[in-house]
Homo-oligomer: A and B are copies of this chain.
Amino acid sequence: MSYKSDIEIAREAKKRPIQEIGDKLGIPTEHLLPFGHDKAKVSQNFINSVQSNDDGKLILVTAINPTPAGEGKTTTTVGLGDGLNRIGKKAMVCIREASLGPNFGMKGGAAGGGYAQIVPMEDMNLHFTGDFHAITSAHSLLSAMIDNHIYWGNELQIDERRVAWRRVVDMNDRALRDIVCSLGGVSNGFPRQTGYDITVASEVMAILCLSNNLEDLQRRLGDIIVAYTRERTPIYCRDIGADGAMTVLLKDAMQPNLVQTLENNPAFVHGGPFANIAHGCNSVIATKTAMKLVDYVVTEAGFGADLGAEKFMNIKCRKAGIAPSVVVLVATVRAMKMNGGVAKADLGEENVSAVEAGCPNLGRHIENLKSFGVPVVVAINHFVTDTDAEVQAVKDYVGEHGSEAIVSRHWELGSEGSEALARRVAEVADADVASFAPIYPDEMPLFEKIETIAKRIYRADEVLADKKIRQQLRDWEEAGYGNLPVCMAKTQYSFSTDPNLRGAPTGHSVPVREVRLSAGAGFIVVVCGEIMTMPGLPRQPAALTIGLNADGEIEGLF
Contacts and interface: CB of A to CB of B under 8 A. Distances in A.
Contact of A539 (B152, B169, B241, B245): B152
A348 to B, nearest CB: 34
Interface string A10-38: 00000000000000000000100111110
B141 A214 contact: no
Given A36-B33, A127-B130, A141-B171, A248 B546 contact: yes
Contacts of A44: 552
Contact of A244 (B41, B182, B546): B546
Contacts of A170: 137, 140
Interface in A142-197: 143-145, 147-148, 151-153, 169-184, 187-189, 193, 195
A41 B35 CA distance: 10
A126 interface: yes
Nearest to A183: B178
A187 B535 CA distance: 11
B184 A183 contact: no
Contacts of A84: none
Contact of A140 (B151, B173, B554): B173
Contact of A189 (B143, B175, B183): B175
A134 interface: yes
A73 B14 CA distance: 47
Contacts of A537: 144-145, 148
Interface string A529-547: 0000000110101111111
13 contacts: A30-B37, A126-B252, A127-B133, A127-B137, A140-B171, A147-B174, A151-B175, A169-B169, A175-B182, A218-B548, A244-B543, A245-B544, A251-B552
A218 B251 CA distance: 34
A369 interface: no
Given A180-B183, A243-B547, A248-B557, 17 more contacts: A34-B37, A36-B41, A45-B552, A127-B137, A127-B252, A137-B170, A140-B171, A143-B175, A144-B175, A174-B182, A176-B181, A177-B184, A180-B180, A187-B536, A241-B543, A244-B546, A245-B543
A86 B126 CA distance: 41
Contacts of A176: 181
* Copies of this chain in the oligomer: 2
Contacts of A189: 174-175
B249 A126 contact: yes
A548 B248 contact: yes
Given A33-B37, A37-B33, A127-B137, A546 B245 contact: yes
A523 interface: no
A242 B178 contact: no
A184 B173 contact: no
A247 interface: yes
A100 B137 CA distance: 9
Interface in A274-300: none
Contact of A214 (B30, B545, B552): B552
Interface in A233-263: 241-245, 247-249, 251-252
A544 B241 contact: yes
A359 B177 CA distance: 56
A496 B143 CA distance: 38
Interface in A508-543: 536-537, 539, 541-543
A539 B547 CA distance: 44
Contacts of A182: 174-175, 178-179
A104 interface: yes
A539 B149 CA distance: 8
Contacts of A172: 144
A552 B44 CA distance: 9
Contacts of A179: 179-183
